[in-house]
Amino acid sequence: MAIQAEEISALIKQQLEKFDTTLTVEEVGTVTYVGDGVARATGLANAMAGELVEFTNGTYGMAQNLESNDVGIIILGKYDDIREGDTVKRTGRIMEVPVGEQLIGRVVNALGQPIDGLGEIKTDKTRPVEVKAPGVMQRKSVSEPLQTGIKAIDALVPIGRGQRELIIGDRKTGKTSLAIDTILNQKDQNMIVIYVAIGQKDSTVRTQVETLRQMGALDYTIVVNAGPSEPAPMLYLAPYVGAAMGEEFMYNGKHVLIVYDDLSKQATAYRELSLILRRPPGREAYPGDVFYLHSRLLERAAKLSDELGGGSMTALPFIETQAGDVSAYIPTNVISITDGQIFLDADQFYAGVRPAIDAGTSVSRVGGDAQIKAMKKVAGTLRLDLASYRELESFAQFGSDLDAATQAKLARGRRTVEILKQPLNKPMPVQQQVLVLYALTHGYIDDVAVEDIQRFQDELIAYVDANAADLYKTIVETKSLPEEADMNQAIESFKATFASSVSDEQE
Ligand SMILES: Nc1ncnc2c1ncn2[C@@H]1O[C@H](COP(=O)(O)OP(=O)(O)O)[C@@H](O)[C@H]1O
Ligand SMILES: [Mg+2]
């Protein structure tokens, strides 16, 4: 029987298709420079931006500057035994980190490796560290509140889920404390928190983790830590790593809060490694793309559309200023990227007004839409009251005769400032905030001595809990204000029992 030519070619084709070569081609380059967390290598002409490369000592690096004859590599780990002339090979993979539920309650480094001594993290899910942020069509406008539990924020500069709100202030003005209190308040709020500590003292981070653990907040929190003693690439990467971990939850329909504490230190680390990579320095010696460093990070915070599950990631980036100067390069950049900013004022902080939120310069451009109705109602005029108080206060210092109306305004202002003070680690649920602010704006606190206000507040909250808890229930369930008559009655009957120590003395 004759064999047909087509049959032979079909057979050969078939065999060819099945032919499986075991030969793998590895692209290997040579290290030409190494130092300060950065290396350069030749011979990796096809490397992708952000691709992982492996050094002979097992350390990984990330390809950065792709130039025609060499690439810059940021080294992700030990580099004291990497030498010029060593080989370095491509992996063909973009850098990814472990993600998923298993990370919750853990402290990890910028590579997602555990550093809390609690053993291995068993997760098989990973996500790329750098991804494109969701586009316009994938987003929805911000509509649900993120309750921080801090009266001055929830009332004056409310934050919505999916928003990016900058926290800015000098060192030691209570920025980190705000973050920790906000995290504590996410308990039972159906939130997952990622706290990214960048260049913070290890002892500080340890204390914060302990606080979170003691208050039960580690049950829903992941801590990513890149300490000041780590190489600059770790500090540069940590925020993106945190964002990748957050995205895993957001894209599964969950709500995430991510805190970047702080991006000034990330920018400094980026400047350092850019200078070593010999990128041209620009303003304040930052490389030209330092704006993009933060914009591509913060764009990843979003409120997703319903088709994508409606999840959200709210970002609270922190910036540390020098002597309150918000017009420096990095602060102005980040101010322009975010949906508002909360200024912490050093003078107020030292005068004992804590949290030291400057109501005049702090804004939230989208959060107001997300405030619950009851809060909107009681907080409506608070901002103006405060602003006019600050103005009057400077007049009043001249000691001129003040008319009754001015005096009343001053008295109310002083009480407003007092009410907005809040001790550490005491976030306040929104229903209690509404009650207290209602009492304030309806004049029930005007005759309480300033020294007694904190006690008045605490006792009022407890009294309503014991005698009129329905009020709280209504606020929580309907999100609107209960009948004013019921509010008034509860507050009046409380006042009848409240012993004001100072006014007793005066009488
Ligand atoms: N609301 C507050 N009440 C009392 N003390 C506070 C308050 N907020 C911050 N502090 C104290 O101020 C100090 C500095 O706060 P921190 O949050 O570390 O500032 P930053 O992060 O801005 O450097 C801490 O010792 C903290 O205990
Ligand atoms: Mg801090």
Nearest to 299 by CA among 344, 261, 249, 336: 336
- Which pLDDT tens digits describe the chain residue by residue (507 residues)? 667 778 888 888 888 887 776 666 668 999 999 988 899 999 998 898 889 999 999 899 999 888 888 899 999 888 888 999 999 999 998 999 999 999 999 999 999 999 999 999 999 999 999 999 999 999 999 999 999 999 999 999 999 999 999 999 999 999 999 999 999 999 999 999 999 999 999 999 999 999 999 999 999 999 999 999 998 999 999 999 999 999 999 999 999 999 999 999 999 999 999 998 888 999 999 999 999 999 999 999 999 999 999 999 999 999 999 999 999 999 999 999 999 999 999 999 999 999 999 988 899 998 788 899 999 999 988 988 888 888 888 777 766 677 888 888 889 999 999 999 999 999 999 999 999 999 999 999 999 999 999 999 999 999 999 999 999 999 999 999 999 999 999 999 999 999 776 544 443
Is residue 18 domain-resident? no
Where does 187-254 show beta strands of DSSP type E? Answer: 191-198, 221-226
Q: How far is the CA of 243 from the centre of ligand 1 (A)?
A: 26
CA nearest 416: which of 368, 359, 458, 373?
359
Q: What is the pLDDT of residue 242?
A: 98
187 known member of a binding site: no
Q: Which of 40, 68, 93 is the last residue of a domain?
A: 93
Question: Does residue 504 fall inside a structural domain?
Answer: no
Q: Check residue 507 and give its pLDDT.
A: 36
Provide the b/e sequence for 12-25 (b: ≥16 CB within 10 Å).
eeeeeeeeeeeeee
For the Cβ of 174 lying below 6 angstroms from any atom of ligand 1, the answer is yes
CA–CA separation, 74 and 353 (whole Å): 43
SS3 content of the chain, % helix, strand, coil (to 5): 45, 20, 35
Same domain, 118 and 240: yes
- Owning domain of residue 271: 98-371
**Boundary-marking domain end, from 46, 63, 93:** 93
217, 105 in Cβ contact below 8 A?
no
Assigned token pair, 109: 């480094």
102 and 247 fall within a common domain: yes
Residue 132 lies in a domain: yes
Binding residue per annotation — 135?
no
For residue 316, what is the domain's CATH number? 3.40.50.300
Name the region of 498 (left: φ>0; alpha: ψ -120 to 50; beta: rest). beta
Atom 23 (ligand 1): residue with closest C-alpha? 172
Closest CA to 254 of 177, 322, 309: 309
In a domain, 308, yes or no: yes
Catalytic residue among 93, 139, 206, 365: 365
- 8 Å CB contact between 252 and 136: no
How many A from CA of 232 to the centre of ligand 1? 27
Residues 157 and 293 in one domain: yes
> Could you say which of 325, 351, 371 is where a domain stops?
371
Shared-domain flag, residues 57 and 154: no
| CA of 262, nearest ligand number | 2
The confidence score (pLDDT) of residue 21 equals 66
In a domain, 182, yes or no: yes
Using a 6 Å cutoff on CB, does residue 172 contact ligand 1?
A: yes
Whether 201 is in the pocket of ligand 1, judged by its Cβ within 6 Å, is no
DSSP line for 43-95: S-TTPPTTEEEEETTS-EEEEEEE-SS-EEEEEES--TT--TT-EEEEEEEE-
What pLDDT was estimated at residue 147?
96
Tokens of 66: 């792709």
- Closest residue CA from atom 9 of ligand 1: 174
> Is ligand 1 within 6 A of the CB of residue 422?
yes
Are 322 and 405 part of one and the same domain? no
Same domain assignment for residues 137 and 197: yes
Do both 243 and 346 map to the same domain?
Answer: yes
Flag whether 490 is in a domain: yes
Contact 294, 317 (CB under 8 A): yes
**What is the SS3 assignment for 357?**
strand
At residue 6, the 3 state secondary structure works out as helix
278 is catalytic: no
Our answer on whether the CB atom of 225 is closer than 6 Å to any ligand 1 atom is no
- 355 plus 382 within the same structural domain: no
Residue 479 assigned to a binding site: no
Q: Is 110 helix (H, G, I), strand (E, B) or coil?
A: coil
225 to 203, 235, 259, 426: CA distances (angstroms): 12, 9, 12, 25
Q: Do 416 and 273 share a structural domain?
A: no
CATH number reported for the structural domain that contains residue 64 in this entry: 2.40.30.20
443 is in an annotated binding site: no
Ligand 1 center–CA 181 separation, angstroms: 11
Q: How many CA atoms lie within 13 A of 25 on its CB side?
A: 3
Statement to judge: residues 254 and 167 lie in one domain? yes
**CATH number reported for the structural domain that contains residue 409 in this entry:** 1.20.150.20
Does a structural domain hold residue 145? yes
Does residue 16 lie in a domain region? no
Q: Are residues 402 and 388 in the same domain?
A: yes
Count: domains in the chain: 3
Identify whether residues 308 and 404 lie together within a single domain: no
